[in-house]
């Protein structure tokens, strides 16, 4: 089965126009609503399924060698849960629950975070823009400019189509840079807000993304230089909002200091001890 056929089965019946309209009514949506998620899926799911989890196995790999993996009792049990669904949908559900799943930053979450922070007046920087959730969320609020950066060149075409879709529905201007975020000169960009979600210690292995073989090396080689550079480029009076897990936050505060504001994220997770937040620093005038 070709990748596009696989994605076609997973997106059967999805209309991004209707999904986007659902998201416009964000004031009346429940905190865990998935409104807008399928807009992201429509444009970037094909590449997301290329992502390798800690097992070093992508969903495409899993599906190509499905006859081997289905012999595992746990996978068979998960696959058999919804026999009325198409084989690809059942396989993906089994894969997600057994191996993990590359997650998106929900557009609705982006909207709700921005609604709790000062107005973005010039531009919003997203140096690890990922799958498109924050690009979609900022468009709903008509943020003046979204500056997204990602090293994954496989996303160039999907993002081109996503931006065309959003420009027809929003006044937000888009500037996308497909380059290693550590190689960007942030002083040349104009932004008074940063909202992003850092990768979590190589849990997900993306295309065109450097891997670090230890947490210490990722701390010193990625988190510290990136955080310092984007904050240095931030306009005075602006803010930096980072979605990271507590372990990464504990490292970042060793050189950035305690955050000014913590916004807890309500999320579904089978681990009841799991918590996640967006940590915010305000840059003095």
Residue carrying the six token digits 């010039």: 122
- How much is the pLDDT for 202? 59
Is the pLDDT at 270 greater than 60? The verdict is no
Q: Band the pLDDT of 275: cuts 50, 70, 90.
A: confident
Secondary-structure class of domain 107-282 per CATH: alpha beta
What is the enclosing helix (H) or strand (E) of 175? strand 173-178
- How much is the pLDDT for 33? 93
Nearest CA to 225 out of 208, 210, 238, 236 is that of 210
Nearest CA to 63 out of 43, 35, 39, 93 is that of 93
Report the alpha-carbon distance of residue 207 to residue 210 in Å, rounded: 9
> Cβ distance 108 to 33 under 8 Å?
yes
Report the alpha-carbon distance of residue 36 to residue 39 in Å, rounded: 5
Q: What is the mean pLDDT of residues 260-269?
A: 83
Q: What is the mean pLDDT of residues 239-260?
A: 97
- How much is the pLDDT for 271? 53
Q: Determine the 3-state secondary structure of 126 from DSSP.
A: strand
- How much is the pLDDT for 8? 85
% of residues, the chain, pLDDT over 70: 94
Q: Band the pLDDT of 279: cuts 50, 70, 90.
A: very high
CB atoms inside a 10 Å sphere around CB 188: 7
- How much is the pLDDT for 107? 97
Q: What is the mean pLDDT of residues 166-177?
A: 98
- How much is the pLDDT for 218? 93
Is the pLDDT at 207 greater than 60? The verdict is no
Tens-digit pLDDT profile for residues 83-134 = 999 999 999 999 999 988 888 999 999 999 999 999 999 999 999 999 999 9
Is the pLDDT at 17 greater than 80? The verdict is yes
> Cβ distance 148 to 126 under 8 Å?
yes
- How much is the pLDDT for 210? 72
Q: Using CB atoms within 10 A of its CB, is residue 254 exposed (0-12), middle (13-18) or buried (19+)? A: exposed
In degrees, to the nearest 5, what angle opens at C-alpha 62 toward C-alphas 38 and 84?
60
Report the alpha-carbon distance of residue 67 to residue 220 in Å, rounded: 42
**CATH 3.40.50.150 intervals, the chain:** 107-282
Q: What is the mean pLDDT of residues 190-215?
A: 79
Which residues in 111-137 are b (16+ Cβ under 10 Å) and which e? bbbbeebeebeebbbbbbbbbbbbbbb
> Among the listed ranges 59-73, 74-88, 203-217, 229-243, which one has the minimum average pLDDT value?
203-217
Q: What is the mean pLDDT of residues 247-267?
A: 94
Report the alpha-carbon distance of residue 91 to residue 118 in Å, rounded: 43
Is the pLDDT at 208 greater than 60? The verdict is no
Q: pTM above 0.75? A: yes
Tens-digit pLDDT profile for residues 123-164 = 999 999 999 999 999 999 999 999 999 999 999 999 999 999
Is the pLDDT at 200 greater than 90? The verdict is no
- How much is the pLDDT for 268? 62
């Amino acid at each position: 089965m070709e990748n596009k056929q696989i994605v076609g089965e997973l997106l059967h019946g999805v209309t991004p126009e209707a999904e986007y309209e659902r998201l416009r009514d964000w004031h009346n949506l429940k905190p865990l609503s998935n409104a807008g998620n399928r807009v992201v899926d429509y444009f970037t799911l094909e590449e997301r399924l290329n992502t390798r989890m800690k097992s070093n196995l992508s969903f495409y790999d899993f599906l190509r060698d499905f006859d081997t993996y289905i012999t595992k009792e746990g996978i068979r049990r998960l696959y058999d849960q919804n026999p009325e669904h198409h084989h690809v949908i059942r396989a993906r559900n089994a894969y997600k629950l057994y191996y993990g799943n590359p997650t998106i930053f929900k557009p609705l979450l982006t909207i709700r975070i921005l609604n709790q922070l000062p107005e973005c007046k010039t531009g919003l920087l997203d140096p690890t823009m990922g799958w498109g959730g924050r690009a979609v969320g900022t468009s709903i609020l008509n943020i003046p400019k979204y500056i997204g950066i990602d090293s994954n060149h496989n996303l160039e075409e999907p993002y081109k189509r996503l931006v065309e879709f959003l420009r027809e529905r929003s006044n937000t201007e888009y500037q996308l840079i497909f380059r290693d975020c550590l190689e960007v000169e942030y002083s040349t960009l104009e932004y008074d807000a940063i909202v992003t979600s850092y990768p979590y210690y190589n849990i997900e292995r993306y295309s065109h993304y450097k891997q670090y073989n230890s947490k210490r090396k990722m701390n010193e080689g990625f988190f510290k230089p990136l955080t310092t550079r984007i904050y240095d480029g931030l306009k005075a009076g602006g803010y930096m909002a980072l979605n990271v897990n507590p372990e990464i936050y504990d490292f970042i505060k060793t050189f950035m200091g305690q955050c000014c504001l913590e916004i807890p994220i309500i999320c579904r997770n089978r681990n009841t001890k799991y918590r996640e937040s967006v940590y915010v620093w305000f840059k003095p005038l």
